[in-house]
Amino acid sequence: MLASALDCLDEIEEINVVSVFEVEEEADWRQPLIEYIQYGILPTDPKKRADVKRRALRFTFKNDTLYRKTFDGVLLRCLSREEAAYVLNEVHVGICGAH
């Protein structure tokens, strides 16, 4: 029994597997809109190009800040993911926590 187990061990090849995941930083969702509104630069992907052109009509860029225009003319400040997470945390934990 021991001999057959050792024979099996001889047949097993040692395989070293190294997994390397390139962590691609998630791009800021606002950047393509800002580039198009400011400089007219569009993404190379045709689907993204059409999406940016269509969505850009509802946005404006003033004082280095992207805003979404509402039907009432109110400008809503566009937040990054980090800023949005902070705001949501403040609303739910902060002074308005018991809403």
Per-residue confidence in pLDDT tens, the chain, 99 aa: 555 555 555 555 555 555 454 545 568 999 999 999 999 999 999 999 999 999 999 999 999 999 999 999 999 999 999 999 998 888 888 666 665
41 assigned to some structural domain: yes
Residue-level pLDDT at 97: 63
| pTM, 2 dp | 0.65
8 assigned to some structural domain: no
37 assigned to some structural domain: yes
CA distance 28 to 66: 12
Number of domain units in the chain: 1
23 assigned to some structural domain: no
Residue-level pLDDT at 27: 84
| Secondary structure in 3-state letters for the chain | CHHHHHHHHHHCCCCCCCCCCCCCCCCCCCHHHHHHHHHCCCCCCHHHHHHHHHHHCCEEEECCEEEEECCCCCEEECCCHHHHHHHHHHHHHCCCCCC
Q: Which domain holds residue 59?
A: 29-99
51 assigned to some structural domain: yes
Place of tokens 């190379």: 44
Residue-level pLDDT at 23: 47
22 assigned to some structural domain: no
17 assigned to some structural domain: no
